[in-house]
């Protein structure tokens, strides 16, 4: 990102996202640390050393910038309005795709056994369902990494806020 783009982003976040400076941290510094974290997948404690700020300060300012960006999303992020393309003709009555994924998490040592997956990583198991336009229509997060995909799916189909597949339709 060049300097003028960075400055424009900061100005937009101030004007439309209501991002404000604090006594000790400028808007530019907040946006800079936010971009640094998401671009390099850094942890807050690693960024704290670079910016000479506490983990709490880094976390607060990261979340303030994130909230400001989310306020702008309806104006700047336009999802395409698409219809099912002819390529989906082969999947008549298919309403979308379903899959699970494991996301790394940090949990207390006492709970790590439940969250250790088959590859020995500490994760949470998340189920997601997308429609033919690649939009999520159902997400079930929070299962321990040791949980099987079939157990998570069974829970998604049986819980109060369950995922329901219409009669005569299927998921790929």
* Model confidence, pTM: 0.53
Which tens digit of pLDDT belongs to each residue from 1-18?
899 999 999 999 999 988
Closest residue by Cα to residue 96 from 53, 61, 50, 128: 128
**Residue where the block lists tokens 């049986």:** 158
DSSP string across 3-51: HHHHHHHHHHHHHTS-----SS--HHHHHHHHHHHHHHT--HHHHHHHH
Which tens digit of pLDDT belongs to each residue from 111-159?
899 999 999 999 999 999 998 888 888 999 889 999 998 999 999 999 8
């Amino acid at each position: 990102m060049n300097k003028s783009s960075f400055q424009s982003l900061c100005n937009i976040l101030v004007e439309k996202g209501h991002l404000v400076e604090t006594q000790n941290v400028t808007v530019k510094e907040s946006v800079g640390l936010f971009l640094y974290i998401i671009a390099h997948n850094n942890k807050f404690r690693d960024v704290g050393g670079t910016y000479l700020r506490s983990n709490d300060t880094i976390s607060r300012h990261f979340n303030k910038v994130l909230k400001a960006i989310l306020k702008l999303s309806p104006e700047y992020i336009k999802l395409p309005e698409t219809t099912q393309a002819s390529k989906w003709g082969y999947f008549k009555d298919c309403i979308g795709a379903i899959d699970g994924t494991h996301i790394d998490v940090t949990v207390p040592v006492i709970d790590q056994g439940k969250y250790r997956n088959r590859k020995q990583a500490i994760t949470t198991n998340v189920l997601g369902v997308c429609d033919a336009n690649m939009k999520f229509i159902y997400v079930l997060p929070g299962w321990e990494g040791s949980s099987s995909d079939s157990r998570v799916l069974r829970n998604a189909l049986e819980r109060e806020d369950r995922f329901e597949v219409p009669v005569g339709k299927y998921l790929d």
